Amino acid sequence: MRVLWAVLGLLCVALAVIGIVLPLLPTVPFLLLAAFFFARSSERLHNWLLDHPTLGPPIEDWQSRGAINPAAKRLATISIVVVFGISLAIGLRPMLLGIQAGVLSMVLLFIWTRPSW
């Protein structure tokens, strides 16, 4: 079972790293999942993730205070606006735009109601 947890953790880290450059893929939720999986599989991988200079601080902020960095909030907002703008530009059906707008609005509401540090 520990191998399965480790593989899932590594997969989440890979998705998080991809999410750094792709606006549609979230980064921090995958890092939080990776920390969860590593805590159950490998102390070494768990410590590596938490001690990582780039990937570790958002996890620590969330675990200790439920906080999201203000810069991350702004970047998430910009990414969401860009993705929705692309959806408008390619002419998605109004029903799909409505669903997307509703979901993205809830995501933004969640992000902006979290503490900032």
pLDDT per residue rounded down to tens, the chain (117 residues): 999 999 999 999 999 999 888 766 778 889 999 999 999 999 999 999 999 998 898 888 888 898 988 988 898 899 889 989 999 999 999 999 999 999 999 989 999 999 987
Q: What is the largest CA-CA distance in the chain?
A: 48
User: Given phi > 0 = left and psi -120 to 50 = alpha, else beta, which region is 102?
Assistant: alpha
- In whole angstroms, what is the distance from residue 103 CA to residue 3 CA? 34
- In whole angstroms, what is the distance from residue 33 CA to residue 16 CA? 10
CA distances, 86 to each of 11, 79, 107 (Å): 28, 11, 18
Q: Quick one: how far is CA 95 from the chain centroid?
A: 26
- pTM for this entry: 0.72
pLDDT at 23: 67
